[in-house]
Amino acid sequence: MFEMDLEMDANMGVVRSDAVSTNGHLTPLGMPARLRSSLHSSFAGNGGLSFLIAMSAVNLSNFIFHIVISRMLGPASYGALGALLGIITVLTVPIAAAQAAITQAAAEGDTVSDGSARPRLAGVLKWVIAGGIGALGLTAASSSVIASYLHLHSLEPVFFLGLWLLPSIVAILPQGVLIGRLSFKPVGVALTIGAGGRLVAGVILVKAGYGVDGAMLGTAIGAGISCLLLLWHLRGQFTPRFMSKARRKAEHGAYNTRSSGREMLGSEGLDGEGLGVNLSVAGLSIAALTGSAVFLGIDTFLARHFLTASAAGFYAAAAVAARIALFLPSAIALIAFPHFVTSRSKGDNVAGRRHLMHAIGGIGLLGTASAIFIAAFPSLVVDVLFGSHYSTSAAVVGVLAVSADVMGLITLLVYYHLARKSALAALGWIGSIAAGVLIGVFHTSPESIAVVMLTTTSLVLAGMLLPAFRSWAFRKSAEPPSHTAGNMCSSLWSAKPEVDLTVVVPFFNPGERLDSHIASVVKTLEETGRSFEVIAVSDGSTDGSMSRLVETAPQSVQVVALPHNQGKGEALRLGMAMGRGRYVGFIDADGDIPAEILRSFAAIATGNGPDIVLGSKLHKSSQVIYPPARRLYSFSYRMMNRVLFNLNVSDTQTGVKLVRRDVLANVLPRMLEKRFAFDLELLVVAHRLGYRRHAELPVTIRERFTSTISLRAVRGIVLDTLAIFYRLRLIRYYDVPHEPPSFSILTTSGVTAQVGTP
């Protein structure tokens, strides 16, 4: 039976060696040493651990800010503050997503070698400053609307919200560049000092009687401090003056480097390297991180609208307490992101999945432990953090803590799918819409809103996690695995072509007409004067056709059997993998397309000919006798494929094709379809990989049509087609090289080969 190699690294995510050398002797590694080695080799190296510590300090400072300010303001005013901070998150992220694009560009090494980086960075800085000023103006212009919706007593808090946006947006550029170059320490220092400044300024201003205004102004002051420190660290990069790399090296010593061998940011900056941001990547980052931010804060925002002022304040306090579970997960996601990008750009799935497993393990351990503690002792957590006035918050803090733990994993997966440039990164929008609709229906109490959030976050996590796990089943290399003498799959990937043409004829219970059709195929190919082979593949036939074919087939025909019916696509995969021809293709076994068609196909399949030669019912010279129902099905399916895939072929499903050997060797390992969508997937993958030189030839289709198309078959074809679209557009499955399929072959007698076990 067809078996794709799904063997995974059993030691994935674990230190590979259990011993170290000491004076020439091997000694076992202790647990602390293993842990340090594992952390350093994953997301915590290159200053990542320092960044984790710094982010812990930042989150702790921000958390203390909420605790102190909530006690000073009281539930009603604190509910207003919580809603405003939720708006900050939503408004910041669309532009802050540019930070992810900058990080991705830096991690991929999309740079120039001359000194033009500084003018380019200076230009980007002008844009982010303009964006910050624009956001401030937009917020000020909409202040009356926001204040009215949130039932605020003045416009000043909304203005300070905009004032917070200005430095936060400007900081995107230096922070994105530094993280992309794995220079985590200066980012951690700047954010830590800024968080401390926010706490001090906020407490002083609220204590002075400025209330929510003072808390928001303190938040803006903290953001300004962090922004200035980040800009100061890269101060040399925003001037038009620059020195050559050689001169900088002579004056400042050897550059800092990291494991990949590329230069990274030291205290002197980018050392002349430039920065290129892909607009499509930036757009996906904006969509993904905006959706994630909206999803994270939509419950607090809607709670302020639907609940009473006090109830909204209790909910906001519970949400803040629950987000203890997000303290370190968010930092781990930021650290892991450039590693995901680097692994993806190198096509190294092994490293990518190792980093993902390390990050999931870290988030799962830290976030789940926090969530369990909060859920187990909700009253204690609320009382210690916010005081007895917020005791009502204990009813929902446990549920929100579990939801926050799930949200931490979602945040990680957002960055993982961003690195893969997959639209799944934006799945948070689906969660936001679902949460908004459900909260709009079930908002009778804080408890009902919390349950909605737990439900929607769990569903979104499943939707993002399952494709990530599925991709682990495949390795980075398209190099063929080692084969035994009986493994016939080596013909396509290992052996050189031995004949001009290989024609595969898949069949399932075709009746007696198969013999005459195979004989016609052989005769036609003999008349072309080309060397050839014919491989007839039984897809688990039970009508005795295989036995008859074994007795009557010419020596140029090899008969192969699948142990049970698996689908036309599976039979084609086996037969084409065995092909020894320069061109490998197939023709349907039912005889509706006569074998004589192969003459024109053989004539064009020479040398470095087209990538794919295919028959088309729509060719002006085609002679097709087609029942009306089949014409309707065919037309509808063509329209569907045109919308979904925009292929440069008119007809994907006619059952005769030839594929150049090198094209097939690259395409076939990526294919998964086992049924009638095999033809479509072949063309889609080839198109995706850049093989677009097609030759469409006319065909003759006789009025036989012994098979019928049922509604069940139509439904199956449509579902298979949507699955191809999902793999192509959403999880980008076809972009990653995969290993060729592996077959276990048991030769029986004569020309017959049994594949797998019955």
Instruction: Write down the pLDDT at residue 469.
Output: 66
Q: What is the model's pLDDT at position 730?
A: 75
Phi, psi of 102 (to 5 degrees): -65, -45
Q: Which of 374, 388, 395 is nearest to 315 (CA)?
A: 395
Instruction: Give residue 566's pLDDT band: very low, low, confident or very high (50, 70, 90).
Output: confident
Residue with tokens 């790399």: 245
pLDDT band at 139 (very low <50, low <70, confident <90, very high): confident
Residue that wins the pLDDT comparison between 565 and 35: 565
Predicted confidence at residue 622, as pLDDT, reads: 85
pLDDT of residue 541: 87
What 3-state DSSP class applies to 512? coil
Q: Tens of pLDDT along 302-318?
A: 887 888 878 888 888 88
Listed in sequence order, the DSSP H helices in 646-710 are 661-667, 678-688
CA–CA distance, 261 with 258 (Å, rounded to integer) = 6
Decide if pLDDT at 285 tops 70: yes
Give the pLDDT band of residue 657 (cuts 50, 70, 90).
very high
Identify the CA nearest to 102 among candidates 82, 125, 75: 125
Closest among 642, 643, 626, 653 to 717, alpha carbons compared? 653
More confident residue, 139 or 93: 139
The size of the chain, in residues, is 758
The highest-confidence range among 242-251, 267-276, 484-493, 707-716, by mean pLDDT, is 707-716
* Distance of alpha carbon 731 from alpha carbon 482, whole angstroms: 28
Q: How many CA atoms lie within 13 A of 670 on its CB side?
A: 26
Query: Helix crossing, 211-233 with 75-108: angle to 10°?
Result: 20
Q: What is the mean predicted confidence (pLDDT) over 60-70?
A: 80
pLDDT tens digit string along 181-206? Answer: 777 788 888 888 988 888 898 889 88
Higher-pLDDT residue of 3, 295? 295
Residue with tokens 């397309």: 593
Mean pLDDT of the chain: 75
Domains of the chain in start order, with CATH, are: 64-76+290-476 (no CATH), 111-256+266-275 (no CATH), 490-755 (3.90.550.10)
* Segments in 581-668 forming alpha helices (H): 598-604, 628-645, 661-667
Flag the least confident range among 18-27, 237-246, 378-387, 454-463.
Answer: 18-27
Q: Sorting pLDDT into bands at 50, 70 and 90, what band is 176? A: confident
Tokens of 435: 């949460």
**Beta carbons of 345 and 476 less than 8 angstroms apart:** no
Q: What sign for the dihedral angle of Cα 230, 413, 644, 2?
A: positive
pLDDT, position 681: 93
Average pLDDT of the segment spanning 567-577: 89
Mean pLDDT, rounded, for 212-239: 84
Residue 522 banded pLDDT, cuts 50, 70, 90: very high
